[in-house]
Structure 1
Amino acid sequence: MFFKQSDDALINQALNGSERGWNKLVKRYENVVYTYALKMTGNQADAMDLMQETFISVCNSLHQFKGNSSFKTWLMSLAHYRCVDFYRRKQLDRDGEKNVEHLVSVDSWSQPCGEHEVQQSRAEVVKLLMQLPFEQKLVVELKMFQQLTFEQIAEQLGGSVNTVKSQFYSALSKLKRSIESEENAA
């Protein structure tokens, strides 16, 4: 197909019972939701579960989507609530060591050197993010990886722009100190 269907067209198709429309909508956003969940949990299995739970929520409440924001913003707010639920149900290790080991698969050792280094760097970033409080980690994820504006993040989280900025810059400061302390220890 030479053109990409809009989210609104796919939503309408899904609401009218089109399995193809629903599948295209899921396919379009499944990687975004999975990546978000992975960065928030640091565990592939938990991220997969959260992605599935998010799309079940979307399926059950798609008829309630009014289009006041973009579909992606609405979807990511559902993913956010699933992650909050996850944190309520399960206490994660504060050091993140046990969760990070799942990010680098056994097969990565047989990959070319450059790919292994990229995976190792990603694991280190996730490890540092896991050390942040949940609210700060969330803001960093939305700003840096989802590339939302401070205004969009505040809207999604139901807070003020100044609070979001404060959490973001505080998180960056903590990350910087962690990186510096690791460099000094090496």
Structure 2
Amino acid sequence: MLGLDNNLALIERAMEGSVSAWERLVKRHERLVFNHALRMTGNHDDALDLMQEVFMGVYSNLHQFKQDGNFKSWLLKITSNRCIDFFRRRKPDHDADEEPLATIASDQTTPEDAFFKSTQNQLVMHVLTQLNPDQRMVIELKFFQNLTFEEIATLTAISTNTIKSRFYAALRNLKSLLEVHHVAS
């Protein structure tokens, strides 16, 4: 039997009805899901709602997880799909940057450094929310999840060339948007 710390063992036990195994699995991956949803939506509350939706859906469909697959990739794919669904059903006038990411690194030494870092994070989150959802997803998976183009293509069931095209289009758009804010050189 696999060790309890292994995702597959936790999944097996959760499918058998173990609440503690399910809670451990959620605890292990909640930050990953939340951060992915936050970067996709740019809104803390929306990310929390999406995280809850994702884990409710995962729990209901845990039996569909292929034991030979990568649980993290499966979870990211579900999260990405939920985010895309969120954008499809969102009202057009919704302000996606109501609560931007304002994470301040713990190694900040001065209030000025903390303010600058917070302002930069807010600007980046604001600019990311201006990308279309497909481009935002590719940027999120490439930069924040450190996936390769091939991994993104597999995860999203989109060709590698299309992923690369979206990625480079997103970079061009980001550069233009940052230039508007006088950030890029």
TM > 0.5: yes
The 3 A distance-change label for structure 1 pair 89 and 15 is: same
CA positional deviation for 1:49: 0.4
Shift of 1:125: 0.8
In the alignment, is the contact (CA less than 8 A) between 1:104 and 1:120 conserved in 2? no
Given the superposition, is the C-alpha separation of residues 174 and 69 from structure 1 closer, same or farther in structure 2, using an over 3 Å criterion? same
Corresponding position of 2:100:
103
Task: Tell whether 2:87 aligns with 1:91.
Answer: no
CA spacing shift, 1:34–1:62, aligned 2, 3 Å: same
Q: Distance in 1 between matches of 2:83 and 2:33?
A: 11
For the 8 Å contact 2:43–2:101, the answer to whether it is kept is no
Residue type of the alignment partner of 1:125: V
**Deviation at residue 18 of structure 1 after TM alignment:** 1.2
Q: Which residue of 2 aligns with 1:108?
A: none
- 2:5 partner letter: Q
- The answer to whether the aligner puts 1:72 opposite 2:69 as a matched pair is no
1:121 CA drift (Å): 1.6
Q: Which residue of 1 aligns with 2:59?
A: 59
Matches within 5 A, 1:25-174: 25-93=25-93, 98-103=95-100, 112-174=111-173
TM-score by structure 1 length?
Answer: 0.85
Return 5+ residue gaps in structure 2 as ranges.
103-109
Q: 1:35 to 1:93 in 2, by over 3 A?
A: farther
CA–CA separation in structure 2 for the residues paired with 1:100 and 1:62: 33
**Aligned length in residues:** 175
Distance 1:104 1:146, change over 3 A: closer
Deviation at 1:13, TM superposition (A): 1.5
Letter of the 1:103 partner, please give it: P
Q: CA deviation at 1:104?
A: 6.0
Inter-CA distance 64–175: structure 2 relative to 1 (3 Å threshold): same
Offset of 1:89 from its aligned partner?
1.0
Instruction: Indicate how the Cα distance of structure 1 residues 15 and 166 shifts in structure 2: closer, same or farther if over 3 A, else same.
Output: same
* Rounded Cα–Cα distance in structure 1 between residues aligned with 2:25 and 2:73: 14
Partner letter of residue 49 of structure 1? D
Q: Secondary structure at the match of 1:99?
A: coil
How far is the alpha carbon of 1:140 from its aligned partner? 0.4
Residue 10 and residue 104 in structure 1: after superposition, are their counterparts in 2 closer, same or farther (change >3 A)? closer
Calculate the TM-score normalised by the size of structure 2.
0.86
- The aligned amino acid for 1:57 is G
Change (3 A) 1:26 1:182: same
- Same amino acid, percent of matched pairs: 43
Check whether the contact 2:138–2:166 (CA below 8 A) recurs between aligned residues. Answer: yes
Q: How much has 1:7 moved relative to structure 2?
A: 0.8
Per-residue CA shift, 1:94-143, capped at 9, x if unaligned?
8xxx43241367xxxxx944333322221111111111111001100011
1:104/1:136 CA distance change after superposition, 3 Å: closer
- The CA RMSD over aligned residues, in Å, is 2.3
